[in-house]
Chains A and B, each alone.
Chain A
């Protein structure tokens, strides 16, 4: 049973719209991550956070932004969506110590027309 939730699962939106992809986890994990993945392609780390008020950019240049005001919540925002943002976005979390196993959400598939 997944303890990390992403909404929406699917979103079709027009160019120029602002969107926020939600990610919430109930496991009290300190570390959270956003990945971007095109079909059949590599997973790219775009943002991560080690705790409240901590956010870092990943490897893939992304026009999205993130925030971490609460431990359980790590939303990703696109201020002005473009067709190049069409992709799947996966959120994940893991504890700050111990086994450090990543738990993934089901993903948000975004299509920008």
Chain B
């Protein structure tokens, strides 16, 4: 099963872009990359997913490298409410969440 590696924590200034990396070097050709975030102890919230093309929605953008071994979630204008734990998972790992990245957006 493909595993993911993320930095433990990151800081970002309010209004700036937050770029959250994820390594998934063992991903298989048909596995998707999903991003979720968890605010406090609420259930994780879906953000975005992709296979190999870059994706954008109203919440974020997802950039996947050409070799698909890593990806970056971009929050273009981070706000204080984006402070959360962000999880990157791949479908082959069947919904197993790692420790994620704790993003702190600072004023």
Chain A residues within 8 Å of B, Cβ to Cβ = 31, 33, 35, 37, 39, 42-43, 45, 48, 58-59, 88, 90, 92, 94, 99-107, 109
Pick the interface stretch among B20-28, B61-69, B94-102. Answer: B94-102
Please name all residues of chain B whose beta carbon is closer than 8 Å to the beta carbon of A106 when the two chains form the complex.
Answer: 42-43
Q: Who on chain B is nearest to A91 by CB?
A: B43
Chain B residues within 8 Å of A, Cβ to Cβ = 32, 34, 36, 38, 41-46, 49, 87, 91, 94-100
Q: Who on chain A is nearest to B97 by CB?
A: A43
A48 with B49: CB separation less than 8 A: no
B44: contacting residue among A31, A48, A102, CB under 8 A? A102
B49 with A99: CB separation less than 8 A: yes
Given contact pairs A35-B97, A92-B95, a sample of 8 additional A-B residue pairs in the complex whose CB atoms are under 8 Å apart = A43-B97, A45-B96, A99-B49, A101-B34, A101-B46, A102-B36, A102-B95, A104-B43
Minimum distance in angstroms from B3 CB to a CB of chain A: 12
In the complex with contacts A99-B49, A100-B32, A101-B34, A45-B95 CB distance below 8 A: yes
Identify the interface centre among B38, B42, B43, B98: most chain A CB within 10 Å of its CB. Answer: B43
A45 to B44: give the CA distance in the assembly, Å.
13
A106 to B46: give the CA distance in the assembly, Å.
14
A37 to B87: give the CA distance in the assembly, Å.
14
What would 15 A/B residue contacts be, using CB atoms closer than 8 Å? A33-B95, A37-B41, A42-B98, A43-B38, A45-B95, A45-B96, A48-B94, A48-B95, A88-B41, A92-B95, A100-B49, A101-B49, A103-B46, A104-B44, A107-B43
Minimum distance in angstroms from B42 CB to a CB of chain A: 7
Q: Who on chain A is nearest to B48 by CB?
A: A101
B42: contacting residue among A39, A58, A107, CB under 8 A? A107
A48 to B95: give the CA distance in the assembly, Å.
10
A92 to B41: give the CA distance in the assembly, Å.
14
Please name all residues of chain B whose beta carbon is closer than 8 Å to the beta carbon of A31 when the two chains form the complex.
Answer: 95
Please name all residues of chain B whose beta carbon is closer than 8 Å to the beta carbon of A101 when the two chains form the complex.
Answer: 34, 46, 49
